[in-house]
Amino acid sequence: MAKSDGHSAHKQARRTRISAKLPVNVDGARGVTRDISTTGMFIIQSAQYEMGSHVDFWLDMDTPEGKVKLCCKGEVMRVEALDGKVGIGVKILSQERQNFATDDTYSR
């Protein structure tokens, strides 16, 4: 019988991604997600980033409680050139959820 270690299970869980095209704002510029996971997301946008750089980004999400803004800080883990755009794999370092109804600082 094969022996399973916790490290392999953890590594596999990190790879679980969901394809999702959601509008996202990265450091003030618009982009779109390609996929998301519990630990990060891949974002297609136009700005150039270096691996290891830190980014601030947010996206609007519909939830059963209503529309929320998910504000995140992340680290660029991967950079890809994509047909005139730049794709960045971002690891989420921190996140904060803001309800639209109670956040007066947000405007479209």
Give me 49's structure tokens. 């980033």
- Going residue by residue through the chain, which has 108 residues, state the pLDDT in tens, using 9 for 90 and above: 444 444 444 444 456 889 989 999 999 999 999 999 989 999 999 999 999 999 999 998 888 888 999 999 999 999 999 999 999 999 999 999 888 765 444 444
Q: What is the largest CA-CA distance in the chain?
A: 58
Q: What is residue 17's predicted lDDT score, i.e. its pLDDT?
A: 85
User: Which pLDDT value is given to residue 16?
Assistant: 86
Which tokens in the block code for residue 8? 């392999």
Q: Count other Cβ atoms within 10 Å, centred on residue 51.
A: 11
CATH architecture assigned to 18-99: Beta Barrel (2.40)
